[in-house]
Structure 1
């Protein structure tokens, strides 16, 4: 059994985003004297061409993650795809594609992993299949010969496989690492280049995104729709937009696109302007409400934004929606607020609702956005003790586990404790104090390296354990009543902690449903000097309930109102204090 200290490291939910890129010599995408690729892509009917290319994407992806030629690095997976694209697109029938892919698969050589292949394990409740691989055995789709080819690949890869040169390997936590993916020169007019980016993206998510079974869409249909969209564009912005349309379907608030070149901005971005409202705003009941003030700014706390530069907030939100991967529809304002308050002009014409009346103001913009979640931390202490001997812990202020231990020691003799996880916690060790006994508390689904496309669920135990005293005298079981504060800004690590802590009998969660985006993130480099961040671990409650897309539901629902924000009141904190003082 892992010691809890190791678990603390193992269960770190979000890593710092690194923009360091990976580069390699690009394989030649066109042979000398080849015909114009764009003409080839246009000459067949769109539907047949799309079906052909989608089949290529899936067969190539399956081989990429299962065939030893790619896993051992003896063949260049991108070069192989580039050699096939125009040939497959030129095929007139599905049978032609099947014959071509059969010939290609055979050319990859002997299936030898240089390691023992284990016997395939039977499915279990602990295994979750995300990639639908039933098509690999569909002779009507692939033809008998190609089905026979794919059947030669084992359903379970060697556990001791040398992945030094593989398209994916795994770090010590089990997070997939795609840093062996090569970079390529950017030619946004080249259909080969554009499809390479799309096919790399779709397959990485097909095999290593943990929540495909929760999506509202059909993942195969996402590919079929993205192919013609990608082929219709010829510039960088349309390329980035086509990729973002795919990740938009993931319903994953961890999704974040960035450039691997320091200082370079994306062409397709939600906030192209250079200015922002100089005050923090927050989603309050489906409206953007000002939650702070700024010098020389006429906007006040509690103002409800109506329009900016002549566009209503609803119109702006609808414009920005395609840029985001939303866990659910009611998260649009929470996710897109920064883009909504963005402007290309320094002076912004803002209409707000204040006291039942609409008021118009000219507001001088700031070059930097002002985050509500960060602004509320300004001036906060790590902890305090308020009336009724109630402790209040602010994990967003803490920067180390040592600081947490010091704070919890000061709060040891309080009669109750409020933990504000509306903040993004800077520490993980709260689960050494709560629950008050070591017990199964959360389920983590990690990608199974031996069977790409599947995830293995493991229950993780957390809570106070007397054996911790061997390593630190600071830990103790906090047995008094605990209230956790939560709202739409509670995301990722905070959701992870809430999921664990609420297993304790002495814990009550008060506030609003959380974001619904939890699990360790992975980073996928894409052609065009791009990098995608996405969720790679699945997180579930002990009863199997999901957090992703739905968010964690509070035990006691309390919602903010613009009126109370104007008065400088915190309704969720007030509800927590009232509950504890009456208990």
Structure 2
């Protein structure tokens, strides 16, 4: 029986002026403290106070040390606020992506006295990896919190016996590090480590013993790696692998049932073509044919959508970058997730096994966090998935430059062009004008700098890579940088000051906050798909139904997912628009396409005018999905330029060092099987902004759409 843990929900257990068991966000704009003069009960309350220049959010955080049986978990507690601009609240999250609430909807703001608040989340103990809770302050002001209480199905959590940890979590042998020290690798050792990565990942996702959670497969890697490195020849390596795998026990055959209708087949020929010993080949073949269920400790499929859910992957947040074993674990973990659960693996355009061999020495040779992060970023880039990158990492921010020139730069006509300002005063004071072309930064030509950054800009296609590289060009760790440029055919050079990001306003066209609907002239209705809310459709329908044309602007990301409701107003009957492929737990690497999904309602409304859908490289994922749906309108035209080419619900991935990334987790295709990943939504009429149009402040794509609708 598991031992009951201790809790400190009343903040009364204090050490070194902090509440024992509680941590907070690293955001320096928010101060966490204990207050011994203002408390709801006992001697202390916990305080969150905004003290910085750039409001975002700060937290008090408590991680529940166990998993618990039950159906409902309730968090309650008392909150007091002072001059809150934004909102305050309690919060709780059940990982991975099971349930979340931060009380934003309550909108606790201003100055309020102590008041009790409460909310309940639905539990899923069989899938839960971690439960976190605490208090949150979003925006400015000050928050006090006290007297928290957690109940499960109405019982105080202190009286609930935690679930017994699986054997994989009871293995603590390498909790402080892998204890692996790599030698200077020779070619044979590099090949042996490639083989180890192949075998380790294959056994992880195919062996029933690992599926049950009976083995910590990370730690087993550290146990076998020394023997593989010490092997003098292939026979010794294979013998070490056989002895290691056999400890998992025999398997019952009955799996590996191929699907003739599979969109993607698993890549397992290497088992019989790699020249392994007969014993190793036979053992791996038996495991391939093992009987498996849909229950697995390390991998699941999310409810309904069925994109992969990578479970029980330890983050190793305190990883030392010099830990050779953990770096190789990161490589093996990510590589095998792609190998077996990435729906677009066939579009990588190179043998993914060769990539594993290429990156073994890259991960082995680095010893600091920057080198490790760049190796990860380069590896992720080889997947060619715009979803898949690493964002908000301070190590990468340092590498690319922590300070920014206060202007926006985007590629227009294949040139780096100033498109706006990140500070109205400082930006214009730089002497740069919208439409200026940047040709060099600190003496390096933009073409050369762009080439350097390409491998660190994971994206599905070239257009999206340029979109992501543009804002990186004027970053530096110095207080100023020098640029060369061209304006109206005349060359110029300037020294530009750089600023901390908190001092600037970053213009993000990905999220749109302005108007969601308007009438252009007398003939055309315009819907901004980024901010449009389907609940407003009945109100807007009478204003749009008789117009000559409808423009749907999808050059952004939809916040409200209006796809089905709006399509029901456009098409009077269902029309197929998408086919989706999904992976398999029983047969890792198989992806099968479901029957096509339709949009348009039975006996729906009907819009008879022209429909023009605007897209560009900012149209990513859900925006692309929406564009596919609207495109089936019989009088639709897609206009603009190549989209980001990454569609399908994302699946988060945790890597050693606490590094988070994601992949597109399901395959999105046209009903006839046509690709959308990397290709994007190809416009019927290509229209791109020009430097002249940028200088004149024009939206040339929108202008072209208006012209098309007005044409007879």
TM-score (norm 2): 0.70
Asked if 1:555 corresponds to 2:684, the answer is yes
Unaligned runs of 5+ in 1: 1-13, 260-264, 468-474
> 5 Å matches for 1:197-236?
197-236=330-369
Alpha-carbon distance in structure 2 between the residues aligned to 1:155 and 1:427: 45
Taking structure 1 as reference, are residues 366 and 479 closer, same or farther at Cα in structure 2, changes over 3 Å only? farther
* TM-superposed deviation, 1:408: 4.6
Alpha-carbon spacing, 1:69–1:232, altered in 2? closer, same or farther (3 Å): same
Is the contact between residue 67 and residue 153 of structure 1 (CA under 8 Å) also seen in structure 2?
Answer: yes
Question: Residue 170 and residue 430 in structure 1: after superposition, are their counterparts in 2 closer, same or farther (change >3 A)?
Answer: closer
Aligned to 1:240: 373
Query: Counterparts of 1:206 and 1:578 in 2: how far apart (Å)?
Result: 47
Partner of 2:28: none
Matched, 1:374 2:509: yes
Q: How far off is 1:189 after superposition?
A: 2.1
Whole-angstrom distance in 1 between the partners of 2:686 and 2:98: 31
1:486 equivalent to 2:615? Answer: yes
Partner of 1:534: 663
Check the 8 A contact 1:520/1:535 in 2, yes or no. Answer: yes
Q: Displacement, 1:393?
A: 0.6
Contact residue 352 and residue 360 of structure 1 kept, 8 A: yes
- Aligned ranges for residues 22-33 of structure 1 at < 5 Å? 27-29=172-174
How far 1:258 moved relative to its partner?
Answer: 4.9
Decide whether aligned partners of structure 1 residues 376 and 66 sit closer, same or farther in structure 2, where only a CA change above 3 A counts: closer
**Which residue is 1:262 aligned to?**
none
Are residues 171 and 403 of structure 1, via their aligned partners in 2, closer, same or farther at CA, if it must alter by over 3 Å? same
| CA shift in 2, pair 1:500/1:360, >3 Å | same
Deviations 1:259-283 (A, max 9, x none): 7xxxxx3424576423223233322
Alignment partners' CA distance in 1, 2:616 and 2:414: 13
Task: Give the match's secondary structure for 1:252.
Answer: coil
Tell me which residue corresponds to 2:298: 167
Displacement after TM superposition at 1:319 (Å): 2.9
Which structure ranks higher in relative contact order (CA pairs < 8 Å, sequence separation ≥ 6)?
A: 1
Q: Tell me, what secondary structure is at the counterpart of 1:225?
A: helix
Distance 2:582 2:400 in 1: 36
Provide the secondary structure at the position in 2 that maps to 1:292: strand
Determine helix, strand or coil for the equivalent of 2:594: strand
Partners of 1:405 and 1:150 in 2: CA distance: 60
1:148 is aligned to 2:282: yes
Query: Is the Cα contact below 8 Å between 2:531 and 2:560 reproduced in 1?
Result: no
Structure with bigger strand share is: 2
Q: Give the superposition deviation at 1:375.
A: 8.8
What's the counterpart of residue 472 of structure 1?
A: none
1:318 to 451, 458, 461: 451
1:353 is matched with which residue?
486
Q: Distance in 1 between matches of 2:541 and 2:378?
A: 45
Q: How far off its partner does 1:186 sit? A: 1.3
Q: CA deviation at 1:147?
A: 1.8
Q: What does 1:3-402 correspond to in 2, within 5 Å?
A: 27-29=172-174, 37-38=180-181, 41-42=183-184, 46-111=186-251, 121-129=257-265, 131-138=266-273, 141-153=275-287, 155=289, 158-159=292-293, 161-163=294-296, 166-172=297-303, 173-184=305-316, 185-258=318-391, 265-269=393-397, 272-293=400-421, 294-296=424-426, 297=428, 298-368=431-501, 373-374=508-509, 377=512, 380-398=514-532, 400-402=533-535
Contact 1:519 1:539 in 2 (8 A): yes
Q: Deviations over 1:190-231 (max 9, x none)?
A: 322221121111111111112121123221111111111111
Please provide the CA RMSD for this pair: 3.1
How many Å separate the matches in 2 of 1:365 and 1:303? 18
Measured against aligned partners, the alpha-carbon deviations of 1:172-193 in whole angstroms (never above 9, x if no partner) come to 1212122311233513223222
Deviation at 1:483, TM superposition (A): 0.3
Q: 1:391 to 1:511 in 2, by over 3 A?
A: same
Conserved in 2, the CA contact under 8 Å of 1:281 and 1:372?
no
1:69 aligned counterpart, secondary structure = helix
Change (3 A) 1:56 1:76: same
Name 1:466's counterpart in structure 2: 602
Number of residue equivalences: 541
In structure 1, distance between residues paired with 2:212 and 2:663? 25
Equivalent residue of 2:608, what SS? coil
Counterpart Cα distance in 1 of 2:597 and 2:555: 24
Higher-helix-fraction structure: 1
Q: Determine the C-alpha separation between the residues in 2 that align with 1:156 and 1:125.
A: 21
- Aligned equivalents of 1:86 and 1:360: distance in 2? 56
- Runs of 5+ consecutive residues of structure 2 not aligned to the other structure: 1-96, 102-127, 132-168
TM (norm. structure 1) is 0.85
Q: In the superposition, relative to structure 1, how do residues 251 and 386 fare at CA in structure 2: closer, same or farther (>3 Å)?
A: same
1:503 equivalent in structure 2? 632
Contact 1:29–1:192 (CA<8 Å) still a contact in 2?
Answer: no
The residue number in structure 2 matching 1:4 is none
Q: Is the 8 A contact 1:373 1:489 kept in 2?
A: no
Higher-Rg member (1/2): 2
Question: Would you say the 8 A contact 1:22–1:179 is kept in 2?
Answer: no
